[in-house]
Amino acid sequence: MYHLTALVTLLAILVYFYSSILVSEARRKFGVKIPAISGNPDFERVFRAQMNTLEWLPIFLPALWLFAIYISDDIAAALGLVWVVGRILYILGYAQAAAKRSLGFAIQALAGIVLWAGAFGGIVWRLLKM
């Protein structure tokens, strides 16, 4: 069973949901009406943080689950938590200033790369042992 990975998956979805709420609040705060996605730089940063999170989910989630299946649920969950923390730092930092997104991005990108590489290595290792 992959209980820890499942929990981290739900946390990642919660982070994305939270970023959606921040976009909604930013729309009201900065007067950006739907369907516009530009016009106020403060809104645009919050919106881009949400979109970038969405762009990373299809990279992160399969890598997380494949790592859990082929390597370890515990390690996948720990790396997944690192990704979640990095995403939160990215979202909150980017909302303040574009320059403040870098640390969070680096943390989540590193976690995502380790998950992907581990999953790839685990799959190749199993194939070679056949």
Largest CA distance in the chain: 60
Selecting among 28, 45, 87, 126, the annotated active-site residue is: 28
Which residues are CB-contacts of 18 (< 8 A; sequence separation ≥ 6)? 91
Structural element, H or E, at residue 114: helix 102-129
Any catalytic annotation for residue 126? no
Any catalytic annotation for residue 28? yes
Selecting among 27, 45, 87, 101, the annotated active-site residue is: 101
Q: Catalytic residues, which ones?
A: 28, 101
